Amino acid sequence: MSKKGKKEPEEFIQDTDAYFEDGEQKWITLELEDGRTAECAVMGIYKGSNKKNYIAVVEEEKLESGEPYFYRYAEDENGDPVLSNIEDDEEWEIACDGFEELLDELEFEEMSSEDDD
């Protein structure tokens, strides 16, 4: 366990089924920098090329066309998510690239499963 009671998640979510609970999209509530709260859909939890963990979320109102928000991701000792802001441009690029790779993997898996039908 690292400082501040955070720990690394035991397992990273790499398929779309993990973002749904009982067939429903998983949601989190974020407090944004402007002070408002936003209900956000979890789009992915993944490891970047720098071996740090990230989460991508999209606001409910922007689900069809919005850009995701990226945060560093960890879990506390109770298994609850802990999100941290990404402060520098280089790390932001790593988080974006990791999300694009995750989407590519999911698209490939979907195409492969369609070929099996």
Residue ranges of the domains in the chain? 3-116
Cβ neighbours for 32, distance < 8 A, ≥ 6 positions apart: 38
Q: Are 70 and 99 in contact (CB under 8 A)?
A: yes
- Mean pLDDT taken over the chain: 78
**SS3 string of 18-45?**
HHEECCEECEEEEECCCCCEEEEEEEEE
Other CB atoms within a 10 A radius of the CB of residue 88 amount to 8
Which residue, 10, 9, 17, is CA-closest to 106?
A: 17
| Per-residue pLDDT at 21 | 55
Q: What is the mean pLDDT of each run of 10 residues along the chain (117 residues)?
A: 37 43 75 86 91 92 85 90 92 95 81 69
pTM over 0.75: no
**For residue range 29-61, what is the model confidence (pLDDT) as tens digits?**
888 788 888 888 998 889 999 999 999 999 888
Work out whether strand 53-59 and strand 69-76 pair parallel, antiparallel, or are unpaired: antiparallel
| Per-residue pLDDT at 22 | 58
| Per-residue pLDDT at 5 | 40
Q: How far is CA 35 from the centre of its chain?
A: 21
